[in-house]
């Protein structure tokens, strides 16, 4: 058998994203030296999200660093699970007397909830928060063109009902009779329950540092009901109008955080290896939590195959998980961090 024949069917070398611990550590230590407290970073790739596994990552880091008088957290995320946000805030506040958010870019949805749990929010010129009203992807949600379940929000459903009442559809006396043809009643019920959850989460998180019930109610109501879009950008002056303790970021710290974001973005670049039109492998880094001398990152390590009959992608050979890099005696030690 020739060498070329023996290579038939072999998988190509898998693309690996760079792990830039030396560069991120240099920036973190420089930023940390400009602050009157200790710095933790929490960065999500656009494909990553705030999730419950991150709580264990924060715990590992905070146990190592120990209690601090003042803790700064750099937040960059498109959102995720609001209940995980509550757990992250609860954990962070156990390890510091004062908690401050540093936001140079997007801090959306569940990440906004984390920011709500801080005593002060420092925002750069490109920074924004968003509404925290919750949408759900239910097992009975409608399917999109790619055969994926779509998210359903109570706000969208309420607007459909309002439009029906304003227009007075003559073909039916009950808008739900038409709506149920497209959205299962259990989805509507869970969307209502989900909205109640986001309001409670907002109140509980704010109560960690605000005692005035009227202020808690105002901020919670605003972030759950004021905005016509879940992704509406709440910039600095709007955050102040809502009632948040938000101030402008120092330009030097802002520029360094952008540099750090650039390095994280390089780590979180796409790392997919195509085998053929229906199979590929993903090695992308999604979430990063870091402080001085310690970095945790979640890396996907998974095959994907397209199932034509079901019109969907199926994951195979999943070895995804957390990796931990520690600086010990001048040397970098890399280990797997297992969460079950």
Q: Is the pLDDT of residue 260 over 50?
A: yes
Question: What is d(CA 278, CA 93) in angstroms, rounded to the nearest whole number?
Answer: 46
177 within a domain of the structure (yes/no) = no
Distances in Å between the Cα of 336 and the Cα atoms of 175, 266, 269, 326 are 53, 21, 21, 11
Higher pLDDT, 127 or 3: 127
Is residue 59 within 8 Å of 91, Cβ to Cβ? yes
Count of the separate structural domains present in the chain: 1
- The residue assigned the tokens 């790392």 is 271
Pairing state between β 272-276 and 279-282? antiparallel
Q: Left (φ > 0), alpha (ψ -120 to 50) or beta: where does 67 sit? A: beta
Question: What is d(CA 252, CA 88) in angstroms, rounded to the nearest whole number?
Answer: 28
Q: Any idea how long the chain is?
A: 340
Report percent pLDDT > 70 for the chain.
Answer: 78
286 within a domain of the structure (yes/no) = yes
The crossing angle, in degrees rounded to 10, of helices 82-94 and 53-65 is 10
pLDDT at position 9, please? 57
181 within a domain of the structure (yes/no) = no
What phi and psi, each to the nearest 5 degrees, are found at residue 14? -75, 135
Higher pLDDT, 81 or 139: 81
Q: What is the pLDDT of residues 291-329, one digit of tens each?
A: 999 999 999 988 888 888 877 888 888 888 899 999 888
Radius of gyration of the chain (CA): 23
Is residue 86 within 8 Å of 200, Cβ to Cβ? no
pLDDT at position 2, please? 45
Mean pLDDT for 170-197 is: 62
Which tokens belong to 4? Answer: 């070329």
Q: What is the pLDDT of residues 36-66, one digit of tens each?
A: 999 999 999 998 889 988 999 999 889 988 9
22 within a domain of the structure (yes/no) = yes
Q: What is the pLDDT of residues 214-248, one digit of tens each?
A: 999 999 988 888 887 778 899 999 999 999 999 99
Is residue 118 within 8 Å of 101, Cβ to Cβ? yes
277 within a domain of the structure (yes/no) = no
160 within a domain of the structure (yes/no) = no
29 within a domain of the structure (yes/no) = yes
- CATH no. for residue 68? 3.90.226
- The residue assigned the tokens 């079950």 is 340
Which tokens belong to 241? Answer: 């109008």
Q: Which of 93-107, 154-168, 315-329 has the highest mean pLDDT?
A: 93-107
Boundaries of domain holding 289 = 15-131+227-272+282-301+319-337
Report percent pLDDT > 90 for the chain.
Answer: 50
DSSP secondary structure string for all residues of 8-37: TTPPPPPP-----HHHHHHHHHHHHTTSSS
Give the Cα-Cα-Cα angle 123, 195, 215 (nearest 5 degrees): 50
Q: What is the pLDDT of residues 112-145, one digit of tens each?
A: 999 999 999 999 999 999 988 665 454 555 666 6
Beta strands in 133-258 (DSSP E): 135-136, 152-153, 246-248
201 within a domain of the structure (yes/no) = no
């Amino acid at each position: 058998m020739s060498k070329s024949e023996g290579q038939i069917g072999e998988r190509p070398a898998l693309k690996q994203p760079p792990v830039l611990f030396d560069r991120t550590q240099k920036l973190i230590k420089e930023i940390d030296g400009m602050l009157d407290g200790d710095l933790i970073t929490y960065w999500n790739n656009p494909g990553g999200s705030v999730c419950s596994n991150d709580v264990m990552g924060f715990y590992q880091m905070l146990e190592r660093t120990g209690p601090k008088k003042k803790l700064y957290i750099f937040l960059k995320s498109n959102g995720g699970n609001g209940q995980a946000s509550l757990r992250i805030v609860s954990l962070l506040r156990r390890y510091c007397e004062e908690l401050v958010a540093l936001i140079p870019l997007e801090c959306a949805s569940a990440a906004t909830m984390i920011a709500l749990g801080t005593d002060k929010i420092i925002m750069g010129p490109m920074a924004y928060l968003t509404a925290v009203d919750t949408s759900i992807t239910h097992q009975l949600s409608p399917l999109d063109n790619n055969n994926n379940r779509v998210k359903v929000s109570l706000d969208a459903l309420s607007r459909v009902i309002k439009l029906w009442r304003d227009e007075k559809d003559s073909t039916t006396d009950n808008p739900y009779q038409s709506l149920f043809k497209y959205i299962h009643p259990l989805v509507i019920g869970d969307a209502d329950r989900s909205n109640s959850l986001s309001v409670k989460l907002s109140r509980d998180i704010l109560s960690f540092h605000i005692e005035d019930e009227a202020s808690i109610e105002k901020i919670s109501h605003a972030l759950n009901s004021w905005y016509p879009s879940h992704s509406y950008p709440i910039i600095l002056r709007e955050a102040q109008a809502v009632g948040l303790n938000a101030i402008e970021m120092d330009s030097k710290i802002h520029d360094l955080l952008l540099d750090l974001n650039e390095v994280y973005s390089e780590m979180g670049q796409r790392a997919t290896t195509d085998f053929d039109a229906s199979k590929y492998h993903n090695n992308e880094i999604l979430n990063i939590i870091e402080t001085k001398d310690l970095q945790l990152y979640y890396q996907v390590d998974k095959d994907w195959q397209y199932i034509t009959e079901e019109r969907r992608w199926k994951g195979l050979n999943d070895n995804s998980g957390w990796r931990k890099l520690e600086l010990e005696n001048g040397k970098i030690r890399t280990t797997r961090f297992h969460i079950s």
